Amino acid sequence: MSSECRSNVFLEVDIYIPEGVRCCGQHLDRNGLIFRPLILALTSQNRPYVIPGADLQQLLGNLRREAQANDKLFNPNKLSEEEFMCLFSLNKVDFAYLLTFCDPVPHERGVRHISSKDLMTFLCKMRQGLSDKLLATLFNYSSRQAVTLAVGKVRTSLAMRFVPENIGTAAITREQFIARHVTPFANELYNNEPAVPKVIVVCDSTYAYIHKSSNFRILRQSYSLHKGRHLLKPTLLVAPDRYILAILGPYFSDTWNNDAEILRDAFERDAEILQE
């Protein structure tokens, strides 16, 4: 076991493991640390033990680096599944899968790579709505501008591959949509010929609240008399099993953009929707 692994056990459960102790590789994660559930299940004997000088120096050095890093928020291995879901609305397996879609973003001086810390910051901002200044403090960024850059490059990276492959009429065929996402109940309820399955979607607008604009025209167009607030209206095409087929808009929230007009505009702008 590495010194970092033994130090991590000491930090987690106050158990010191001497140098030379071995551990099966299948019990270690990608960072060479014992999986947290296994650490919590460890037992020990409370007896005096003299730590050799070199081992003690190494242990204190690891503890010092750990204290300086203070990286719990952007280290997935130190967050429980409940904490991870609360912060990012994803479990660790889904987060790792989403990270595979984060390709490097082209830049005039080369490319900008996406780290797990950048993706966690982006998801936390989307889930919690925190300011960039606060995120810089929580995730140990050098400045607010660094957070803005990280969030921007993650958004750009996901738009390059993840969004086209998962959202929109081009991401799935008609046959796949019917087989995977049209439930038997919806087919019986909305299809006049249940023996011949058809595409069934729910089209509705939701609200994205915004601040008042300094542009008077946008100020008027974004004010909703129904809600009494300034907002935009993204329109979603959703399958009966909650699969999001496409996102239209966003549209302004004035009287000219009711659900019927939004749907008409969507059909006029995107002929693929009618073809699919």
What is the distance between the terminal CA atoms of the chain, rounded to a whole angstrom?
57
Task: Give residue-wise pLDDT tens across range 225-234.
Answer: 888 889 998 8
- Residue among 84, 85, 64, 89 at smallest CA distance from 74: 84
Whether residue 69 is predicted with pLDDT greater than 80 in this model: the reply is: no
- Residue among 89, 95, 102, 97 at smallest CA distance from 153: 102
Phi first, then psi: what are they for 172, rounded to 5°?
Answer: -155, 145
| Residue 153: per-residue pLDDT | 93
Mean residue pLDDT across the chain: 83
Q: In the chain, what are the domain boundaries?
A: 3-69, 77-164, 170-275
Give CA–CA dist 141/145, Å, rounded.
9
Span of 77-81, 174-178, 242-246 with lowest mean pLDDT: 77-81
Neighbours of 227 (CB within 10 A): 11
Whether residue 87 is predicted with pLDDT greater than 60 in this model: the reply is: yes
**0.75 surpassed by pTM:** no
Task: Give residue-wise pLDDT tens across range 111-123.
Answer: 888 888 889 899 9
Span of 99-103, 117-121, 271-275 with lowest mean pLDDT: 271-275
Give CA–CA dist 271/276, Å, rounded.
9
- Residue among 105, 104, 83 at smallest CA distance from 92: 83
